[in-house]
Amino acid sequence: MSLIKILAVESSCDDTSVAIVENGRKILACETFSQIEKHKVFGGVVPEIASRNHIESMVLLVKKVLKNSELELKNIDSLAVTYGPGLVGSLLVGVNFVKGLSLATGLSVVPVHHIKAHVASLYLTYPELKPPFLCLLVSGGHTYILEISDYDKIKIISKTRDDSVGEVFDKIGRTLNLEHPGGVHLDKISEFGNIQNLALPVPLKSEDTYDFSFSGLKTAMINIINNLKQKQVIFKTEDLAVTFREHVINYLISNFVEFAQKNNYTKLAIAGGVSANLLLRRKLTQICLDNNWEFFMPRLELCGDNAAMVGSQAFYEYKKNNFADLNLNAIASDFL
């Protein structure tokens, strides 16, 4: 079979990204326009601004990846696009752009689920990696333990019952007056802090479930910070950050590792924006080494939203003839 080249588009949140990926494993070109600077002043992503920026940069990015890869549209075998979950206005820009391009070129469209795309960032990082494996999927919108039984077969083992871990890191970052996105900066300054003794709860920990809950933990941390501010206690931001990071990462890891141990998994992975977290990466690398387990984590530049991972997942969907027709719509709400 000749090599399949897929031109993929990602616009589910605030990153506009276009990539060309060969046979699901080789990035021929990938260009991402991060809108962080545009949203920073508002302390979070403003959906309306995100959609407008996707529209402005999409065509430019397509031209750029074609130029960088020295390819033309006629060399492309299929298009692919993230159709959900995400911000509906943002998703619609990508979905409609790709439908238009399909009409103009006659190319097929592979619809890609955002979570499956995050998992595929691992296939780009490890060309030899194949399912099955157990994956901790942590991002701005999701927190899951997933069993990846095949490229297009994902079983949910557990998930968060309220906030996602990324959301909570961002909120605490903001409460500590860090720049948007809070999670990224909280992780960075944590490297310079000393762990303190704070009364943080360990939520929803029982024999019966591997589900997560973060809202109580978030509220407890906000109360601690506000109390310190009110009493005008002088504290080091990096000390509070590192204490919170340690607590959250230990909580995430304990559920993940306990499930793996009890169910004899020996191939573990992480994916999603929060998989860039330095402590999560360090701790799981060590734990997997100690247990003689294989461990996979995306290259740092592939942890956040990007179209290369969409192009990777799309290859496996393409092989199964999973194509969308021109009625393809964006799906904002959570589904898997």
One character per residue 258-287, x = contact with ligand KG4 (rule: CB under 6 A)? --------------xxx-xx----------
Residues that bind Zn ion (CB under 5 A): 139, 305
Minimum distance of ligand KG4 from residue 128's CB (angstroms): 24
One character per residue 175-214, x = contact with ligand KG4 (rule: CB under 6 A)? ------x-xx--x---------------------------
Interatomic CA distance for residues 174 and 40, integer angstroms: 11
Minimum distance of ligand KG4 from residue 306's CB (angstroms): 8
**DSSP character at residue 184:** H
Minimum distance of ligand KG4 from residue 74's CB (angstroms): 32
Three-state SS across 195-241?
Answer: CCCCCCCCCCCECCECCECCHHHHHHHHHHHHHHHHCCCCCCHHHHH
Minimum distance of ligand KG4 from residue 181's CB (angstroms): 4
Minimum distance of ligand KG4 from residue 233's CB (angstroms): 26
From 33, 144, 169, 212, residue interacting with ligand KG4 (rule: CB under 6 A): 169
What does 166 interact with, of Zn ion, ligand KG4, none (CB < 5 to 8 A by kind)? ligand KG4
Decide whether 76 or 85 has the Cβ nearer to ligand KG4.
85
From 140, 193, 298, 311, residue interacting with ligand KG4 (rule: CB under 6 A): 140
Closest residue by beta carbon to ligand KG4: 273
Minimum distance of ligand KG4 from residue 4's CB (angstroms): 25
Where would I find the H helices in the chain? 36-40, 47-69, 88-105, 114-125, 165-175, 182-190, 215-230, 237-262, 278-291, 307-319
Is 170 among the residues that bind ligand KG4 (CB under 6 A)? yes
**Measuring CA to CA, which residue among 272, 301, 281 is closest to residue 144?**
272
**Measuring CA to CA, which residue among 129, 189, 140 is closest to residue 167?**
140
Minimum distance of Zn ion from residue 29's CB (angstroms): 20
Question: What's the half-sphere exposure (Cβ side, CA atoms, 13 Å) at 271?
Answer: 29
Backbone phi, psi, residue 271, to 5° = -160, 170
- Could you tell me if 65 and 300 are in contact, meaning their C-beta atoms sit under 8 angstroms apart? no
Interatomic CA distance for residues 310 and 313, integer angstroms: 5
**Total Cβ atoms within 10 A of residue 74:** 7
DSSP secondary structure, 298-323, as one string: --GGGTS--HHHHHHHHHHHHHTT--
Decide whether 24 or 304 has the Cβ nearer to Zn ion.
304
Is 157 among the residues that bind ligand KG4 (CB under 6 A)? no
Decide whether 83 or 169 has the Cβ nearer to ligand KG4.
169
Is 30 among the residues that bind ligand KG4 (CB under 6 A)? no
What does 93 interact with, of Zn ion, ligand KG4, none (CB < 5 to 8 A by kind)? none
- Could you tell me if 333 and 85 are in contact, meaning their C-beta atoms sit under 8 angstroms apart? yes
What does 276 interact with, of ligand KG4, Zn ion, none (CB < 5 to 8 A by kind)? ligand KG4
**DSSP character at residue 161:** S
Decide whether 5 or 180 has the Cβ nearer to ligand KG4.
180
Is 246 among the residues that bind ligand KG4 (CB under 6 A)? no
Decide whether 193 or 298 has the Cβ nearer to Zn ion.
298
Torsion 221-225-226-227 (CA) sign: positive
Instruction: Give the tokens for residue 43.
Output: 């302390």
What residues make contact with ligand KG4 under the rule CB under 6 A?
13, 139-141, 166, 169-170, 181, 183-184, 187, 272-274, 276-277, 304-305
